[in-house]
Amino acid sequence: MDDQDYYVDQQDDFYVFADQIDGFLEQLCLHKDDKMRPQFAIQKDSADVAPAGGRDGPHLPQQQQQLLEGTGHPGGSSREDAGQVPSLHSLLGRSELPAHSRNAAGKLHSKQHHSAADANLAAALGGMLALTGSLLSYTIARVKGSRREHHLKRGLAAKEQALAATEKELGATKKQLLVLKDAADRRRCIEAELAASRANLAALTTELEAARAASHKLKCDVSVFQDQLHSLSGSKQQVTEAMAAAEQRVMQADQKRQEAEERWQKAFSDLQAAQKELETVKGELGLRGSQLEGLTRELEFTRRQLVAAEKRVEHADMESRSARTGYAAEYDSWA
């Protein structure tokens, strides 16, 4: 829900409330007309009160009015001609009050009636004002609740967006951590290969030393054989065979020594290459190690933000639910 739809809904609520107030005012006006409608028609030109269908009967004619005042009689003569004042019983056939008494009684009854009507009107107005106040309080509470709910929804949406962005950053950080883990695994493999190369080089060095010692021993043996050759008085063929055998052993020893030296050189070259690669990997891991520490701190901070955002979202959801429950309870109490 955007702001425009929200305020349109608020205007609709106010329009509904205004329609309700208009209906109650219209009913109040009708009630007022019923209570204030006069039951006695008071003449402005005459002091007589003529009840409209009341207990005193219809309005008295002029002749009976004159008889009541003592200025005439049914035959048209005055009070002196009749010799006596006509009786009200004989004129009206029932007990009747004088005109001024009936006028005063009618005014008193009219005042009492108007006082009762004013009291009824005041009571109706008080009830109407109380009802209007209740409706106004309910409308204000509902508007405040709607605004609070709208504010909570907007805050919840913003927190959800922040949570999505944090999760995206967390995914990127995890990818970088995987790359660093691969580099660390590669370093461990290279270190293992380097250790194996060093062990092989040590073995080849030992073998080369043994070959050198054997070659030196054979050379010594050749020298001894030469000395023995000069000192011996044997046949020339035996000496030649002995010399050939000694030279053959020397050649074999030299060949073994050369092979051992070649293997040692190859192992030494492999060791140097492995050391260079290890130094390169160490340099890369040194740079990535600082990056890894920064990413680790950033990941920890992001996790704390994620936990705090989840707590805020849960708190906003609980506030929204409690607000809705409170509005429903208030509405039920007013209804």
Q: Of the ranges 92-101, 118-127, 152-161, 165-174, which one carries the lowest mean pLDDT score?
A: 92-101
pLDDT at site 302? 65
What mean pLDDT is predicted for residues 113-123? 70
How far is Cα 176 from Cα 2, in angstroms, rounded to an integer? 39
pLDDT at site 65? 46
How far is Cα 248 from Cα 244, in angstroms, rounded to an integer? 6
pLDDT at site 267? 73
* Candidate CATH numbers 3.40.228.10, 3.40.50.300, 3.40.50.620, 1.10.287.620; the one for domain 163-322: 1.10.287.620
Per-residue buried b or exposed e for 247-285, using 16+ beta carbons within 10 Å of the residue's own CB: eebbeebeebbeebeebbeebeebeeebeeeeeebeeeb
User: Is the pTM higher than 0.75?
Assistant: no
pLDDT, greater one: 43 or 9:
9
Which of 171, 180, 159 has its CA nearest to residue 299?
Answer: 171
pLDDT at site 78? 43
152 close to 302: Cβ distance less than 8 angstroms = no
What mean pLDDT is predicted for residues 295-318? 69
What mean pLDDT is predicted for residues 106-129? 68
User: Would you list the domain boundaries of the chain?
Assistant: 3-73+98-156, 163-322
pLDDT at site 94? 41
Which of 109, 325, 284 has its CA nearest to residue 187?
Answer: 284
Report pLDDT digits (tens) over 41-77: 333 344 444 443 444 444 444 544 444 444 444 444 4
What mean pLDDT is predicted for residues 16-35? 58
